[in-house]
Amino acid sequence: MEASGTDEVDKLKTKFMSAWNNMKYSWVLKTKTYFSRNSPVLLLGKCYHFKYEDENKMLPGRSGCTIEDHIIAGNVEEFRKDFISRIWLTYREEFPQIEASALTTDCGWGCTLRTGQMLLAQGLILHFLGRGWTWPDALHIEDSDSDSWTSNTVKKFTASLEASLSGERELRTPAVSLKETIRKQSDDHEAQNEIYHRKIISWFGDSPVAVFGLHRLIEFGKKSGKKAGDWYGPAVVAHILRKAVEEARHPDLQGITIYVAQDCTVYSSDVIDKQTDSVTSADARDKAVIILVPVRLGGERTNVDYLEFVKGVLSLEYCIGIIGGKPKQSYYFAGFQDDSLIYMDPHYCQSFVDVSIKDFPLETFHCPSPKKMSFRKMDPSCTIGFYCRNVQDFERASEEITKMLNISSKEKYPLFTFVNGHSRDFDFTPTAASEEDLFSEDEKKKFKRFSTEEFVLL
C-alpha cells in the first residue's frame, strides 16, 4: 500500500509539472518572432534575404522555382518551409512508463535529451533526404485538417501500389507521355521521401522500442550514473547519442556512426577508422559520420567574442545545429540573424503520439514558428554537431571548419581543433571496458566532471 501511495504521489507530481510547463511555455508558440528585412538569415548553412520578398510577390510562377533560383531565393515563405521541415521534439506526457520509475512524462527535466534528439534527427535528415529536402506539407501545418496536394499524392500512390499487389487493377498498357512519366517519377520520389521522413520520426518515438527514443537514451544514461528525472548536460547527451547510434541494429542505420571530440580535439584518424571499420571487399562504401564537439564559450557567462565563431559554425553546410540554451533551459540552435540565435524550444508539453501506427500524425513533430534569442543570453556549455557523408566529405569538412575556426577566433587558440593521427598517438588511451559496461572508466570520470560543470537544466 505504501509503494502504491508513493506511485500516486509521483503521478500527481508529473501531472502538476506537465500543467505548469504548459502554462509557462505554451504562450511562447503563439508570440510572433520579428525578423529584419535588412539582414540575412542563416539556417543550418542556408542563407535567406527577406528584403527580396516584396519583389517576389510581383514575379509570376514562383511556385515552380527552387531555393537555388537567385532571383527569388530567400523569401519568407521559403525560409518558413525550410524551418518547419526540421524535426521538433518536445516534452511529452502520458507515454509508456519509464522503467524503474513512475514517470510518464519528461516535463521539467528532459529538455537537453530532446535538443540532442533534434540535432541527431537533423543529421539523419541529411543522411537519408539531403539538405535540400523540405516537408511538402510544411506550410499547411497550421491547417492540419486539410490535405495538401502532396499528401493526397502519397495516399494515391500507396493505394495504387496496394491495388497492384492484390491484383485488383486491370492489366493494361496505356500510352504514357514523357510528361506523365516525369510526373510519376516525381511522385514516386516524393512518396519515398515521405517514407523516410516518417521512419526518422518513428526512431524518436516515446516508447522502449524506439532506437533513439527517450526511454532508450535514459537506459544509456544509466551507464553514466544518470537516471530518469535527472538533469543532463550537452556533453553527457553527446556521449549518450554516440552509444545509441553504435548500439542501433536497424539495417538502415548501419551506414552511419558518431564520433565525440575528446578534450576539444577531433583526431582525424580516429574518425576515419570509425567510418571504415566495417568496409569489406563486397561493400566498399565508408560510413557517414556525425561529429559532436562539446565546448564551453566562456566561464560563468558566454564570452561575446565567441559570437563570430557561433555564426561561422551555423553558416557551414556541414552543421546540424547546436545543443545549447540559456541558464536552466536547453534549446536547439539552428541559425541566426545579426546577433540573435534562431532556435527550437522543447519546453512545450504535448500528448504522446504512437508512432507505431500507420499514418500517425506528423504535425506535432514540426515547429510552426521560429524563435530568436540574443547571443548574450546563451549559456557557455554547448555541443556542436557536424555531418559528413563519407571519408572524402570529412576531409573536406575538416579543412573548411579549420579555416572558419582560424578566421573567427580572436584568441590565440581556437575553441577546438582537428589533429592528424590517432588519440593514442598523443597518450590519450581510454581504459578498456568490459562488454557488460557500455562506458569506459575515463568516460565515467568525464560524465561526473561534465555534470558538475554544466548548467542545471529544467
Cα dihedral 291/292/295/301 (nearest 10) = 130
Partners of residue 330 on adjacent β-strands? 325
- Give the number of residues written for the chain: 458
Per-residue pLDDT, 182? 52
Catalytic residue among 347, 349, 366, 382: 347
Per-residue pLDDT, 74? 54
CA-based end-to-end distance of the chain? 31
> Regarding beta strands 340-344 and 371-374, do their DSSP bridges make them parallel or antiparallel, or are they unpaired?
antiparallel
319 is catalytic: no
Per-residue pLDDT, 174? 42
What are 271-291's pLDDT values in tens digits?
999 999 876 545 568 999 999
Buried b (16+ CB within 10 A) or exposed e, 186-225: ebeebbebbebbbebbbbbbbbbebbbbbbbbbbbbbbbe
* pLDDT tens for the chain, residues 1 to 458: 455 566 677 667 766 766 676 666 555 556 678 888 889 999 999 999 887 655 544 333 333 333 333 333 457 889 999 999 999 999 999 999 999 888 999 998 999 999 999 999 999 999 999 999 999 999 987 633 333 323 333 343 334 334 433 443 333 334 445 555 455 556 788 889 999 999 999 999 999 999 999 999 999 998 888 999 998 999 999 999 999 999 999 999 999 999 999 999 999 999 999 999 876 545 568 999 999 999 999 988 999 989 999 999 999 999 999 999 998 899 999 999 999 999 999 999 999 999 999 999 999 999 999 999 999 999 999 999 999 999 999 999 999 999 998 887 765 678 899 999 999 888 655 543 333 344 555 555 554 544 444 433 32
Per-residue pLDDT, 33? 84
Handedness of CA 124, 21, 105, 326 (dihedral sign): positive
SS (H, E, C) the chain: CHHHHHHHHHHHHHHHHHHHHHHHHHHHHHCCCCCCCCCCEEECCEEECHHHHHHHHCCCCHHHCCCCCCCCCCCHHHHHHHHHHCECCCCEECCCCCCCCCCCECCCCCHHHHHHHHHHHHHHHHHHCCCCCCCCCHHHCCCCCCCCHHHHHHHHHHHHHHHHHHCCCCCCCCCCCHHHHHHHHHHHHHHHHHHHHHHHHHCCCCCCCCCCCHHHHHHHHHCCCCCCCCCCCHHHHHHHHHHHHHHCCCHHHCCEEEEECECCEEEHHHHHHHHHCCCCCCCCCCCEEEEEEEEECECCCECHHHHHHHHHHHCCCCEEEEEEEECEEEEEEEEEECCEEEEECCCCCEECCCCCCCCCCCHHHECCCCEEEEHHHCCCEEEEEEEECCHHHHHHHHHHHHHHHHHHCCCCCCCCEEECCCHHHHCCCCCCCCCCCCCCHHHHHHHHHHHHHCCCEC
Catalytic residue among 137, 206, 270, 345: 345
All three cell numbers of 232, joined, read 543532463
Per-residue pLDDT, 70? 30
Q: Cell match 531565393: residue? A: 73
The Cα 92–Cα 18 span in angstroms is: 9
187 is catalytic: no
Decide if 91 contacts 346 (C-beta within 8 A).
yes
Per-residue pLDDT, 27? 56
347 is catalytic: yes
Catalytic residue among 111, 349, 367, 382: 111
All three cell numbers of 151, joined, read 499528401
